């Protein structure tokens, strides 16, 4: 079956079978027989097309997509500019390996990253394939530059699934359990989690800095890396002042301050980068997910003197900065600008906040509503307490899926529903999807 996706797909929720339908179940049976069990799936439908706010499955169901493949298709699935750019590139050449024979697309993406990331200092970029690979390389470069080993990460952090980034990630199940040993020299300190710690940003930062000084010491510390809003950990936005205080300490102590904007970057939060909300200027920033409209690409961008400290041949990878992915990234960045997607992200955040603030007045199991722009979440708790309510969270995701709405969960305690729609979703479809989540909460 050949189905054209993109914005021409009808923007509707339409169920013609139960979820998953027979063809989806057939694919799941093949998947279970052929694909390693460790590769789990959140919603077992066989996707045949996607566009803006919807995913269409092999049974002909059209589901509202509030996850965007985990914050990747911010410009919408098969966004027209991305499709055109990739089609043109795929007919020209598919691969050379940039470190063998270079091409313009890679350089143009690096120029764009240098221009768009926070700060107006001189920058350099390097491209890779995945978020984890970008994080690994940022740490590599910071160590090379500082000639120190230590890395500080935070509670609830998520940085990926490779060996180093697994060790940097906080949550054991499912990311780390049984997969050790992990890379050494990684120290975890307290983050700022306003809903649960009640601390002002400066006070939470003081706790973290004391831990850093006592457990590592600046003389041994290469880098501090943090997500400006923690993603998998539960969309935890630190209290105001936390990030600037950590950055200030890092700068004063010769420690490279890295923002992992793999999930928050590229317009997701209503700013091109989440660092912009508090005017934080990191020494390095990692990007991926929303960067290339769904093609695999990631980047590390940083101060020229730090980035250039690594010798030629020290950075790279066979596929890193693949020409198709670079063409897609340039078209994606053009789309964010041409379609005012930052404004749309802000509006999406307002709508989500409005819907759940209303519900919170009558249902105190909605403990917290947080995030920014099109990266919003609700944290669910037991009535009358702050005890995490993972059972309710799972029930909501299940109910929503059965009603044709894909929502993702997250959080260290598994009690957070996160909303990451395409920035191009219509207000009508977004509200319809949110109403299903509201119904799901009422039904549970
Ligand atoms: C998803 C994510 C990663 C890992 O990216 P992959 O492309 O899955 O390797 C790293 N950091 C953050 C903040 C993420 O959200």
Q: Which of 153, 157, 99 has its CA nearest to residue 128?
A: 99
Q: Which domain holds residue 49?
A: 6-78+340-443
Per-residue model confidence (pLDDT) at position 244: 98
Q: Decide if pLDDT at 242 tops 60.
A: yes
Tens of pLDDT, residue by residue over 85-144, are 999 999 999 999 999 999 999 999 999 999 999 999 999 999 999 999 999 999 999 999
Q: Are 268 and 227 in contact (CB under 8 A)?
A: no
CB 378 within 8 A of CB 409: no
On the 0-12 / 13-18 / 19+ scale of CB atoms within 10 A, 22 is exposed
Q: Is 263 in the pocket of ligand 1 (CB under 6 A)?
A: yes
pLDDT for 92: 98
256-260 and 284-287 beta bridge pairing: parallel
| pLDDT attached to residue 294 | 98
Residue pLDDT, tens place only, 385-441: 999 999 999 999 999 999 999 999 999 999 999 999 999 999 999 999 999 999 999
For residue 228 and ligand 1, the question of a CB distance below 6 A is answered with no
Same domain membership, residue 433 and residue 287: no
Same domain membership, residue 62 and residue 146? no
Q: How far apart are CA 392 and CA 263, in angstroms?
A: 25
249 and 298, same structural domain?
yes
CATH number of 44's domain: 3.90.1150.10
Q: What is the pLDDT of residue 332?
A: 98
Q: Report yes or no on 321 lying in a domain.
A: yes
Does residue 1 fall inside a structural domain?
Answer: no
pLDDT (average), residues 62-78: 98
Of 338, 365, 398, which residue is a domain's last?
Answer: 338
Specify the pLDDT at position 309.
98
Q: What is the pLDDT of residue 133?
A: 98
pLDDT band at 357 (very low <50, low <70, confident <90, very high): very high
Q: Is residue 106 part of a domain?
A: yes
CA 21/CA 119 separation, integer angstroms: 49
Q: Which atom of ligand 1 is nearest to the CA of 130?
A: 7
Q: Is the peptide bond before 181 cis (omega within 30 degrees of 0)?
A: yes
Mean pLDDT of 158-182: 98
184 shares its domain with 202: yes
- Same structural domain for residues 178 and 303? yes
Average pLDDT for 327-353: 98
pLDDT of residue 104: 98
Specify whether 304 is located in the same domain as 415: no
Share of the chain above pLDDT 70, in %: 100
Which residue's alpha carbon is at the smallest distance from atom 10 of ligand 1? 159
At residue 2 the predicted structure's pLDDT band, cuts being 50, 70 and 90, is low
Which of the four pLDDT bands, split at 50, 70 and 90, describes residue 3?
Answer: confident
Quote the ligand 1 centre to 324 CA distance (angstroms): 20
CA of 62 to the centre of ligand 1 (A): 28
End position of a domain, from candidates 291, 306, 338: 338
Q: What is the pLDDT of residues 262-289, one digit of tens each?
A: 999 999 999 999 999 999 999 999 999 9
Instruction: Choose one of 158, 164, 170, 410 to mutate for the ligand 1 pocket test, by most ligand atoms within 8 angstroms of C-beta.
Output: 158
Kindly give the distance from the C-alpha atom of residue 329 to the centroid of ligand 1, in angstroms, as a whole number: 17
Q: With contact defined as beta carbons under 8 Å apart, do 283 and 306 qualify?
A: yes
Choice from 129, 132, 325 to test ligand 1 binding pocket (greatest atom count within 8 A of CB): 132
Same domain, yes or no: 256 and 359: no
Is the per-residue pLDDT at 1 higher than 60?
no
Last residue of a domain, one of 297, 313, 338: 338
What Cα–Cα distance (Å) separates residue 241 from each residue in 205, 237, 246? 8, 11, 9
Give the model's pLDDT for residue 428. 98
């Amino acid at each position: 079956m050949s189905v054209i996706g993109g914005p021409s797909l009808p923007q509707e929720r339409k169920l013609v079978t139960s979820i998953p339908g027979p063809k989806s179940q057939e694919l799941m049976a093949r998947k279970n027989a052929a694909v390693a069990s460790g590769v789990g799936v959140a919603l077992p439908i066989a996707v045949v097309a996607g566009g803006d706010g919807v995913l269409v499955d092999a049974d002909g169901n059209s589901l509202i997509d509030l996850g965007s493949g985990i914050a990747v298709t911010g410009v919408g699935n098969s966004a027209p500019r991305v499709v055109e750019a990739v089609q043109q590139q795929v007919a020209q050449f598919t691969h050379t390996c940039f470190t063998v024979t270079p091409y313009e697309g890679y350089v143009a993406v690096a120029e764009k990253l240098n221009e768009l990331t926070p700060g107006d200092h001189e920058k350099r970029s390097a491209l890779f394939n995945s978020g984890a690979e970008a994080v690994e390389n940022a740490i590599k470069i910071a160590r090379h530059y500082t000639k120190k080993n230590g890395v500080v990460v935070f509670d609830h952090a998520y940085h990926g699934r490779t060996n180093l980034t697994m060790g940097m990630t906080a949550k054991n199940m499912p990311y780390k359990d049984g997969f050790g040993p992990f890379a050494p020299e990684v120290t975890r300190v307290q983050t700022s989690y306003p809903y649960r710690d009640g601390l002002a940003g400066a006070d939470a930062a003081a706790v973290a800095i004391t831990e850093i000084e006592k457990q590592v010491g600046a003389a041994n510390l290469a880098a501090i890396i943090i997500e400006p809003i923690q993603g998998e950990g539960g969309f935890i936005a630190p209290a105001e002042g936390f990030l600037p205080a950590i950055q200030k300490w890092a700068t004063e102590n010769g420690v490279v301050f890295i923002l992992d904007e793999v999930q928050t970057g590229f317009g997701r939060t209503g700013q091109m980068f989440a660092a912009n909300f508090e005017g934080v200027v990191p020494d390095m920033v990692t990007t991926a997910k929303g960067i290339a409209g769904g093609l695999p690409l990631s980047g590390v961008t940083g101060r020229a003197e730090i980035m250039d400290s690594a010798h030629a041949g020290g950075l790279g990878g066979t596929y890193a900065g693949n020409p198709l992915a670079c063409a897609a990234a340039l078209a994606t960045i053009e789309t964010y600008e041409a379609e005012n997607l930052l404004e749309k992200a802000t509006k999406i955040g307002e709508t989500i906040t409005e819907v759940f603030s209303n519900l919170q007045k009558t249902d105190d199991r909605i403990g917290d509503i947080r995030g920014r722009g099109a990266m919003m979440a609700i944290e669910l708790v037991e009535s009358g307490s702050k005890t995490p309510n993972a059972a309710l969270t799972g029930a909501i995701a299940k109910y929503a899926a059965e009603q044709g709405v894909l929502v993702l969960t997250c959080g260290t305690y598994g009690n957070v529903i996160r909303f990451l729609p395409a920035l191009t979703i219509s207000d009508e479809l977004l509200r319809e999807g949110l109403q299903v989540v509201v119904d799901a909460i009422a039904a549970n």
